[in-house]
Amino acid sequence: MILPSTPSFSLQGKRALVTGASSGIGQACAVTMAEAGASVVCAARSADRLNQTVDAITAKGLDAQALTLDQTDLGALKTALQQPFDIVINSAGMARQKPALETSAEDFDSVMDVNLRSAYFLSIYAAQLMKAAKIDGSIIHISSQMGHIGGTHRSVYCASKHALEGMVKSMAIEWGPLGIRINTICPTFIRTPLSQATLDNPEGLKWIQDKIKLSRVGEVEDIMGAALYLASAASSLVTGTHILVDGGWTAG
């Protein structure tokens, strides 16, 4: 009897780009890529914190370098993507939380520029290079549970994430024959510097804990396994879909 073997989660010999890598979920994704053996380019707008992140990763004997990048600048983004990556993880994102009736055009444009427009063109630029190099690549977007439900005071954010989910499905259909996979990870509320103000509000925290069936706020470590799975050969038949890391929020 010949038993099956577990597919490898190793990323040895792979090149990975992680955007939004200076803190929070992006930083965690950069760490897990490097720990799995990838050479990681960590990109973010804030040079100081980005360099601190890369220094901490390389201090562990892992391979990482910093790239200061505002990915909403499409010219700079295209310039940054001159060499192909095997793995691209987009963790850059923003939100403007206010009632829909109070949303301004500037609110809408700012959120869409980061969450959708830059994600769209990052995907395209990365896939073009993967195609040219004949790389069976993996593109991963950090989306949100709000890409599958609605949320009070989050109309623009929800719109951007629902659009991202549809974008990924369409790109997966086009790029599947090329061996390029594209998926999303959809977290619930994760404890990061950006979410801390919400979590420090007792009423907000209670609302979140009541919605999350596992009754706890997420930690960045909860995202790392999903990122490694989608980046590795273990998910070689997975594309055009999402992994909800939401503690059961959307199940209810």
User: What are the pLDDT digits (tens) for 103-142?
Assistant: 999 999 999 999 999 999 999 999 999 999 999 999 999 9
CATH class of 15-192+219-245: alpha beta
Mean pLDDT of 148-164: 95
Identify the pLDDT of residue 198: 83
Amino acid of residue 128: Q
pLDDT tens digits for 47-101? 999 999 999 999 999 999 999 999 999 999 999 999 999 999 999 999 998 999 9
What Rg do the C-alpha atoms of the chain give, in angstroms?
A: 18
Instruction: Write out the catalytic residue numbers.
Output: 157, 161
pLDDT of 252 > 90? The answer is no
How does DSSP classify residue 218?
B
Residues recorded for the chain: 252
pLDDT tens digits for 195-209? 888 888 888 889 899
pTM of the model: 0.97
The residues with which 243 forms a beta bridge, in sequence order, are 185
- Average pLDDT across the chain, whole number: 96
Are 54 and 252 a contacting pair, CB within 8 Å? Answer: no
Identify the pLDDT of residue 196: 83
Q: Which has the higher per-residue pLDDT, 252 or 222?
A: 222
Annotated domain spans of the chain: 15-192+219-245
CA atoms within 13 A on the CB side of 235: 25
User: pLDDT class for 165, splitting at 50, 70, 90?
Assistant: very high
Based on the number of CB atoms within 10 Å of its own CB, is 10 exposed (0-12), middle (13-18) or buried (19 or more)?
middle
Identify the pLDDT of residue 159: 97
pLDDT of 193 > 90? The answer is no
pLDDT of 236 > 90? The answer is yes
Helix (H) or strand (E) holding 33: helix 24-35
pLDDT of 183 > 90? The answer is yes
